[in-house]
Structure formats: C-alpha cells, structure tokens
Amino acid sequence: MRPNFVFILADDLGYADLGCYGGRASCSPSLDRLASEGLRFTDGYANSPVCSPTRFALMTGRFQYRLRGGNDEPIASRHRGNPALGLPPAHPTLPSLLRDAGYATALVGKWHLGFLPHFGPLKSGYGEFFGPMSGGLDYFTHRDSAGHHDLYEGEAEAHRVGYLTDLISERAAEFVGRQAASRTPFLLSVHYTAPHWPWETREDDALARTLERISHTDGGSVQTYLTMIRHMDEGIGRVLEALTRIGAAENTFVVFTSDNGGERYSDTWPLVGKKMDLLEGGIRVPYIVRWPARVPAGRDTPQLAITMDWVATFLEAAGAAPDSGYPLDGISLLPVLVNPNLRVERDLYWRMKFRNQRAMHRGTGSISPSTATSFCSIFPGISVNGRTVRGTNRTGWPPCERATLRGKRPCPPYRPTQRSRSRTRRPTWPSRPDRVYAKISVTARETSGNASSVTVAAPVRRLVSR
C-alpha cells in the first residue's frame, strides 16, 4: 500500500531550538514526541542558508543553482511579477510527479518560488493551495515586506482574519480530515512562516498594526520567539491528531525540517553561524521522520542528508519514477530510514553569492562520540570572499563549533587537497547570474487571458564565474 506524505517545513528555525535537539525551553512537545516515535537526524542540512534557494531544491530534487530563480538569495517581494524569477511550470517537481502517479496534492503555507501570473503552486503540481506567495509577511495583516496583501486561496487573494500560523494549521488539519472518505494517497506540504520575523505571538495583533516594517529589527525577544515556535508546534500536533482520527497515521510518512538555520533569537548551540552563513549554524537543521509502517521508532542517525534528498526518497517510497530529462541530484534516504545503522558515503557542496561563500562536506557525517573524527565537518571546505578560512581559535580548534570536547573529538588538520577535490568533484553547475537588475517593460498575461503592460525588475544578462 502506497504511503501518504506530510512534509512540514519551518522557516528560520535554529538547530537547537527544539527540545529533542537540546533546546533551552519546553516549546516543542509535539515535535519532541514525533522524534520519539520516529527517526532523528543529527546531520541534516539545508540546500542553502536562506529561504527560496532551499525551496527550489525541495521542489525539484536538484541543486537550486540549475534554475535562474534559485540563484537569488532570496527572491524579494520587490520582484513581484518578474517573469524570470520563479520555478518554471514546465519543470518536474515533487508534487507534479506524485500527482501524475495518482496522488492528491496540496500546499498549505509559504510558496516563495515566484509570483503570479508566471509562477505558482497550482502551476507546479499542487492541486490545492492556501498561503502566501512571498518570503515573509505579517502574521495579522498578512502583508509582505513591500506592503502587498499576500494571502491566497488557489490563485485568488483570500482575506482572512487570524494569526497566520493558526490559519495554516487549521487548513492543513482540514485537508487531512477530508481524506477520510478517499482512497487516494496524498501529499500535504505544510510550510509555516514561523518562526520567521516579524516577532509576533497570538497576543500581538495590536503590535502588528503599529509596525512600519515587518523586518521588525527593533522588536522581539527570546521569549516571543519561543512562543512563536510553541504556536507552530501546537498546530503540528493538530495535524498529527487529524491523521490519527482518520486512521492514516500508521502509513503516513511525516517529515519535519527547516528551510535554513536560525537567526537573531534562535539557538544554534554549539554551532557557529546563522542564516546567510555557509557555516554549520546556517545550514545544519533539524530532521525528524516518522513512518510507523516502515521506520523504527526512537532512533538517531548521523547519516549526512540534504533537503533535495526528500524528492528521491518520496518517489521511491511511492513507487514513482523521476523524469529522466531532469536527473535528480539528491539521493533516496529510504534505505537509511528503514535501517538506521546503514551509512552512505557522499560529498556535499554549497555556494552563496552573498560574501562569495563556498562550502564542502565530505563523508558520512558521523559525529557520534564513538566514531567521530571531527565535530566541525563543514570547516575544511569553507571559502568566504574568495579566501579559504582555516584559522583556529585560542583553544586550537576550528571556529565552526563553539563547544568542543578537547581530547575526545580530535579535529583533523586542514588539507589543501580539500579545495582541489571540491573543484574537481562537485557537480557542474551553470554560471551564476549577477544580482544586477534593470527596469524593463514586459507584457504579462493575467489568468483571465487579458494582456497588460507592466514594469518589472528583470535580470541583466551579465554572468559571474562559478
């Protein structure tokens, strides 16, 4: 019997925010229970330390650099209507491949892969959509960073009253409830905007009306941030309860993770770096998997994994095939999920235009005390502004970790061969477009078919080297 899939994505969650990852407060009882009932990855990574690039990888199962929009860090609200910055509808995606295999598909929550009329969830394989198109919006006014109202039902604006995290949770649970009368397997993507700024809890409706900018640089606190996580966790609990009510929990493959590392009030201890950094704290994220029918409960795995792996994993679990014209860069994690003792040796690579960063991760990613050779796995391959970082801190340890176990986790010396290995073995990626834009006039065709002339920001055709 083919499984259902529920993929839950947090926004800017730190590696150590959750209780099951050593969090400083009890803010995640539902997710902690999910971890106890399934498998917890200690070395799960995001495809990027910032939002929309990771989402390109999640949708396509391929490095985000293969698509123009995936090179923006991230796609900004000011580029609304840009015909170049988004996930091309013709590109195969996880939802489109599962849809073609007979699955019902829905996205509840954040899209952030381009704007209408050129891009959108319904154009890329989802049968239903409720949520925002942009990267961040106010939890009460539902306006994005450019001031646009940005809550949609399908491709029509939807004006709703309520705290966005709760609206997402309620709609996701409602979708699950509707599957009780259906024998069709389903993919439900639940992409929260929490705990991304603005720093607002359910009690902050009045505050939301006073904010001049939703980036909210003058507000927030650790307590507010943890409460935002708690609200999200409560909603996840409702979705999981809905699965139980319809009798689908046993054969539903649930994954929880974050699009990148945390920022500002997040907890990434003992990792160094946060969002926008190609350091452990910027890209190592929680990965929790529960599938009672196949995945053993209460286990951990140090298997090295990355966001784009979930496409290959879900397709194998569903018995569906990828599109041969778009070979996947990710690998299926299904063998490891079924047998957590298994390890797959692999190399991973990242790049960022921001500060010209590059990083490489080599090996299984194992950091358990009995087998570890390094607790700073990213370190040997870091490059910032074209310069390889290989200095150490006062204790003689690389700066990727703030907490070290001197004498227990010996760190190997930097090897010049790491750079040459990265250059020769990393995938062949397209040249990176420069983030320089010009105002041009284009003709956009609305969904009604009426053509109208609009001015958008479009990329200048100037490239920089990889």
Distance CA 427, CA 424 (A): 9
| 426 Cα distance to chain centroid | 22
| Cα 27 from Cα 227, distance rounded (Å) | 7
**How far is C-alpha 241 from the chain's CA centre?**
24
Tokens 């090179």: give the residue: 71
- CA-CA distances (angstroms) from residue 437 to 352, 389, 434, 456, 459? 18, 31, 9, 10, 5
Query: How far apart are alpha carbons 289 and 268 in whole angstroms?
Result: 20
Residue tagged 């003058």 (tokens): 218
Note if 20 is an active site residue: no
CA distance 55 to 116: 17
**DSSP character at residue 192:** -
CA pair distance 328, 97, nearest whole angstrom? 13
Query: Tell me, what amino acid is at 278?
Result: L
265 contact partners, CB below 8 Å, separation of at least 6: 199, 220, 221, 222, 224, 225
Token pair in block for residue 293: 């029918």
Q: Say how far residue 438 (Cα) sits from the centre of its chain.
A: 29
- Strand 432-433 and strand 463-464: the pairing is antiparallel
Cβ burial, residue 27 (10 Å; 0-12/13-18/19+):
buried
Q: Is 51 a catalytic residue?
A: yes
Question: What whole-number distance in Å separates Cα of residue 398 and Cα of residue 409?
Answer: 12
Cβ(406)–Cβ(370) under 8 Å? no
- Choosing from 112, 191, 216, 361, which is the catalytic residue? 112
**If we measure between CA atoms, which residue out of 345, 353, 350, 311 comes closest to residue 329?**
311
Active-site hit among 51, 376, 400, 411: 51
Q: Cα dist. 208→12, 132, 352 in Å?
A: 20, 17, 33
Q: Give catalytic residue positions.
A: 51, 112
